[in-house]
Amino acid sequence: MRNLFLCILLALSSAPLLPAQPADPAAPAIVLPAPLRTGGISLNEALATRRSVRAFESTKLTLPELSQLLWSAQGVTSSKGQRTAPSAHAKYFLHLYLALPTGFYEYIPATHLLQPLSGKDLRATLSTQDTVKNAPVVFLIAGEYDRASQGIDRETALRLVNLEAGHAAQNLLLQATALKLGAVPVGGIDPKQTAQAASLPAAITPIYLIPAGHPKP
């Protein structure tokens, strides 16, 4: 099993990076490599070794690494559209975004694509925290509170969306650990500031930022 994992790591580390051209909302979506669904370290090992990492090397993540992390958080795992993270009544109220030096993107789970939204590097505008500003990649988890509130009380809806965000975040953190990457969940954000920086629709509220990268020794 360990030899298999080393082979997977070697393949990921030698894979191409995300295209460096500026993102454009009118540009075609970026097709992500198919995620690995077998192999890797055991769940027990990932749980035992996961730690919050706040300092990263400047090394860029490869496209397969980004693909694996995105899929772990919100990837589709069945013909019915079920995902890696649970959602109340399978309504899936989350949106997953990616902030890179090359631009800002939204992950499209149904087709496993990255949709370019902006050609700007938004990392430093999403949060005032240095960990976010200096990370090679920042994941933004946001949710639809209003849609979740349809048919139920607001307090319950907020709780359900926040729980869903926690499920997705933990999946991403464990996947980062399995790939020998580092990451940390950042909940201390100003949702209005982050939403404005990312130009999110009014119905989508930022919940979590997760900076990630290769850990500094």
The DSSP result for 91-102, as a single string, is ---EEEEEEETT
Task: Give residue 25's pLDDT.
Answer: 54
Residues 108 and 28: their CA atoms lie apart, in Å, by 13
pLDDT for 2-47, tens place per residue? 444 444 444 444 444 554 444 455 678 999 999 999 999 999 999 9
Residue ranges per structural domain of the chain: 2-213
Burial label, 45 (beta-carbon count in 10 A; 0-12, 13-18, 19+): middle
- State whether residue 117 is helix, strand or coil: strand
Give the β-pairing of 94-100 and 113-118: unpaired
Task: Give residue 27's pLDDT.
Answer: 74
Q: Which of residues 199 and 8 earns the better pLDDT score?
A: 199
Task: Give residue 20's pLDDT.
Answer: 45
Structure tokens, 54? 């706040």
**CA torsion through residues 17, 85, 1, 183, sign:** positive
Question: What is the residue type of 140?
Answer: L
Residues 180 and 91: their CA atoms lie apart, in Å, by 32
CB 103 within 8 A of CB 117: yes
The predicted model scores a pTM of 0.88
pLDDT for 57-88, tens place per residue? 999 999 999 999 999 999 999 999 999 999 99
Task: Give residue 214's pLDDT.
Answer: 98
Residues 185 and 188: their CA atoms lie apart, in Å, by 9
Using alpha carbons, list the distances in angstroms from residue 190 to 47, 98, 120, 202.
29, 18, 20, 15
pLDDT for 98-127, tens place per residue? 999 999 999 999 999 999 999 999 999 999
Per-residue pLDDT averaged across 187-198, rounded?
A: 96
- Sheet of 182-183: strand order equals 30-31, 113-118, 103-108, 94-100, 137-143, 205-213, 182-183
CATH number, domain 2-213: 3.40.109.10
